Amino acid sequence: MEAVIGLLLMILGVSHGVETYCDGRQDGAQCYGALGGTVVLQLMDSASEIFKYQWLKKTTSILRGGKNRAVINLIADRSSFTPSDGTFRINDLSRTDGGEYTLMIFDSNGSKSEQRTLLLIIQAPVSSVLLVSECLSQGETRVSCSSEGGDSPQYSWTLDGHTLTDAQLLSGNNETNNITLKPDVSGQLVCSVRNHISGISTCGYMFIVCTLSNGMHISQSVSVSSNSQCIEPTSASTTITDTSVDHSLLIFGLRAAVMILFFIGSAVYFVWKKKKYKEAKGSAVPRKREHQENSVLMVEMRSSASEL
């Protein structure tokens, strides 16, 4: 079943995962990779002319090589190193890939000419975000923004496309996930959640102001024009290629493909069944003898012989 789903994903042109890039040529660089995704680390300008280099995680040598030396990669099954541009690409990132790495470069005399460290942090991407609202007794609106799957989420709010201001808030601020809007504040409220490797927003939530009538609390009405999610632009410090797709579209495509395969399989089966039935029916009908008069003549000749 997994093979079939994988084939259908290729047919539909769907791929998953987040790819990040980080320049690690400065000592103490801090890089981020997405859990299950890919990170491209710029370790050096070029390794082609370096006499000897070694890249370690703590005391474990992950990568080593040099001029006129073979490149040895400890995790070659899911990574690759390009000496010409000094980039190291790691796929299928796991939590254990995170940590501090050290690059050491040696000259032709065997002396260490350069050393620098790089900190790689693995984060789970934000997968979904949800708004929940509640009317309070004085006409205020309490709104909560929750996210799933993301490490170290950061929140921000906009109202009708503009950053939410303190003048519109009774409590909370633009960087918290729980806020309370003042009475008579309404509009299209959007919560955005991001971390260093992903960003996502809610879309289409139109909040109508909570009101009071004759001292009785009237529930807030919420008009949802769309339940889709907007992908936010990435931060300047990390370049991200987000290849995720709308899950509803993926599910629809998979179901359609499965139905098409089912109907094709059913048609082939019934054609084969009909052909086998015709062959079986044909073999059950006795074949007619040709030249039946010759057969009768043979019988009559045998009868005459017996009388003699």
**Mean of all residue pLDDT scores within the chain:** 75
Cα 197 to Cα 146: distance, rounded to the nearest angstrom: 18
Indicate the pLDDT class of residue 239, thresholds 50, 70 and 90: very low
Residue 3 pLDDT level (bands cut at 50, 70, 90): very low
How far is CA 104 from each of CA 63, 73, 187, rounded to the nearest angstrom? 11, 15, 56
Owner of token pair 């006409």: 139
Q: Which fold has domain 128-234?
A: Immunoglobulin-like (2.60.40)
Instruction: Using pLDDT thresholds of 50, 70 and 90, give the confidence band for residue 113.
Output: very high
- pLDDT (tens digit per residue) in 191-226: 889 999 988 877 556 565 666 655 554 444 444 433
**CA dihedral angle for residue 267, residue 271, residue 274, residue 278, rounded to 10 degrees:** 170
Does position 21 have pLDDT exceeding 70, yes or no? Answer: yes
- Residues 255-284 have pLDDT tens digits of 677 677 777 877 777 777 777 766 666 655
Structure-block tokens of residue 114: 């350069």
Cα(200)–Cα(178) distance, integer angstroms = 17
- The CATH homologous superfamily to which domain 17-123 belongs is Immunoglobulins (2.60.40.10)
With bands split at pLDDT 50, 70 and 90, how would you rate the model's confidence at 12? very low
Cα separation of 296 and 277, whole Å? 35
Q: Tell the residue number behind the tokens 């400065």, with chain if given.
A: 26
Residue 217 vs residue 301, higher pLDDT: 217
Find, among 175, 201, 173, the residue nearest to 188 by Cα: 201
- Model confidence at 233, pLDDT cuts 50, 70, 90, reads very low
* 247-284 vs 2-12: helix crossing angle, rounded to 10: 110
**Domain segments of the chain as ranges:** 1-14+245-281, 17-123, 128-234
